[in-house]
A and B are shown apart, each in its own frame.
Chain A
């Protein structure tokens, strides 16, 4: 049974190349090459693999500046059938709320044309790291969302179900879900394969379908761009490097004392980390297995 998969992508500055203006805390985007957000590279790959298995169509969608056409072209090289660029000055300065409105509305229009079985998003964009747009779209469209998907164990377009593995803090969750579903994916979801030459030849003359704020879908002017974006960035700062943790060796009889002493030795130890909260066992801290001491780890992103 032919399936329809929609992949939402974002063109981002290559943050492995990016510098941050120390005064303003903002990215210096000038001269930084743009790339397809790495998670979406893998989302697309999954879509293409599923299409190869079941037949059907992969539609790629992005809201962005005209230059984002290049990211769509890359998707066509990798096997997408259709690329839509939603681009209009009126969309500028959109936050995740406005972006999810636009993408959800666009996908609903696509769904009316050809029912969508699977929606794929990257886990997060490497320039914003919010991870909000995928879930935002799912909520607006009233489809289930599974974030941080790492594997599609089964995908059955006839029974309209799928079995998805997703990464959670304490391990892996295996979920049986009804289609359509929206996944935000990790890189493990599908290994990137080298595109066949025929795809390259097809992509070379690719031009995206251009959607504006008013056609072919009339977006609600109040919900797009700066008007539809209530987020205010109060301040931005460059995270400082997290220092390596320290190992506290304690007498098996009195672990708490050792920890207390170690903390006391660090008067501004608010961020010191006795054990990294990895979701598993408390690492190698040599404390009695009955008394587990969790340190507070501040992620550089919170």
Chain B
């Protein structure tokens, strides 16, 4: 086998986790090759999205000097609770958000991943785009020794491989680290559109002054027809990212077409004026893993580790994924570097990867929200009941009705009672607390 096909480490996938691991390993002097099946890293990727600088800083200290292609810092964020004709907004805005670098920035993955890949190249990794990995190579003791790409003479070898292949984790499944195909109960499907608008229009509609301010809004309730799911609305420089996602199972069960759910959401009276006159620039759909801590794939085996979405490392509660992916990529890279210095690539040795994850917020958060999917699954009425109730309550609370306030308050309580029995409410609260790991 020619030396040009031998590496110290192979990475599959040019998303946040794969690129983070390539950066860390290349910086440590390992000969790293990363394969990305898209035309370039990011070309196939889509997220909400909000990028978190704490994780980027871990991978690329001083990253601000490298001109990351962020859109706007998130200086205002929160939740909108939509009923069919109303909205309750819970927004948080603070001067503290305005220090640079901000904790979070909105972004577009085609640009961000492409930039992140350039950083990996600068650190010395070989980033090979337009090339998909179609299989994992194993020796007769089942140790992973390389991968097979979809190109002629396409086998490459390395003592350690990191699978950062994203939610559609075919290779992870092939290795038997994940059990079978993704069940529709354990993945969410999200559709997203990027809508172009002039900078000034965006700033006027969202109450922003200049490019140093931006909003990130997550929406619940009518956005997903009251079904468990979320929608988002994020401001970019000259566009708005808008999308809606639900468990795949919900689309199937209620015979909903994803694009129709998005179209319906966009037509909501609280949303439509924000988008008026915009031009659709991009449209896409993507899965989000909702495996939960207890159903994560096995994270390592002889000569291989699984990181990021491929391993289900998403905290849907806080729309965090890229940061978990980057941290996992970093931990996997560190385990690979240690394996190289001790020349031991066995599963026993790569356990260090899992240990690092367990010690970090990544696994701690995933563990805390381990029952979130079960909660949504077991309480499908939750969003509709409470979001509509909150809007209803607000309507009563904020208006003069020529009635004593005490009666108004009783009315509010009664309106909840009409929606759900006292016992039901108590049960929902209990379930929610369990879902949140409280």
Contact = CB atoms under 8 A, between A and B. Distances in A.
Interface string B233-253: 000000000000000000000
Contacts of A198: 2, 4-5, 153
A201 B154 contact: no
B63 to A, nearest CB: 23
Given A201-B4, A201-B33, A195 B128 contact: no
A197 B131 contact: yes
Contact of B154 (A77, A193, A197, A204): A197
B150 to A, nearest CB: 8
For chain B, give the interface size range: 10 to 19
Interface in A73-92: 77
Contacts of B149: 197
B126 interface: yes
A201 B131 CA distance: 11
Contacts of B156: 197
Given A201-B4, A201-B33, A194 B128 contact: no
Nearest to A199: B151
B153 A200 contact: no
Contacts of A194: 150-152
Contact of A204 (B2, B128, B155): B128
Interface string B48-91: 00000000000000000000000000000000000000000000
Contacts of A196: 151-154
B145 interface: no
A144 to B, nearest CB: 35
Interface string A202-245: 10110000000000000000000000000000000000000000
Contacts of A202: 4
B108 interface: no
B127 interface: yes
A200 B127 contact: no
Nearest to B153: A196
B127 A197 contact: no
B128 A201 contact: yes
A204 B153 CA distance: 17
Nearest to B151: A197
A197 B126 contact: no
Nearest to A203: B128
Contact of B151 (A195, A204, A205): A195
Contacts of A193: 152
Contacts of A204: 126-128
Contacts of B128: 197, 200-201, 204
Interface in B141-178: 149-156
Nearest to B150: A194
Nearest to B2: A198
Interface in A183-197: 193-197
Contact of B126 (A77, A195, A201): A201
Nearest to B149: A197
A200 B130 CA distance: 9
Interface string B1-34: 0101100000000000000000000000000010
A50 B127 CA distance: 29
B48 to A, nearest CB: 21
A200 B150 CA distance: 12
A232 to B, nearest CB: 34
A193 B153 CA distance: 13
A200 B131 contact: yes
A259 to B, nearest CB: 47
Nearest to B156: A197
A190 to B, nearest CB: 16
Contacts of A195: 151-152
Interface in B118-137: 126-128, 130-131
Contacts of B126: 201, 204-205
A201 B154 CA distance: 11
Contacts of B4: 198, 201-202
B153 to A, nearest CB: 5
Interface centre among B4, B149, B150, B152 (most CB of A within 10 A): B152
B415 to A, nearest CB: 50
A232 B33 CA distance: 49
A142 B128 CA distance: 41
Nearest to A201: B4
A142 to B, nearest CB: 40
Given A196-B153, A197-B128, 8 more contacts: A195-B151, A196-B151, A197-B5, A197-B149, A197-B153, A200-B130, A201-B33, A205-B126
19 contacts: A77-B130, A194-B151, A195-B151, A196-B153, A197-B5, A197-B131, A197-B153, A197-B155, A197-B156, A198-B4, A198-B5, A198-B153, A200-B130, A200-B131, A201-B33, A201-B126, A202-B4, A204-B126, A204-B128
In the A-B complex, the 6 residue pairs with the smallest Cβ-Cβ separation, listed nearest first, are: A196-B152, A197-B151, A197-B154, A196-B153, A200-B128, A204-B126
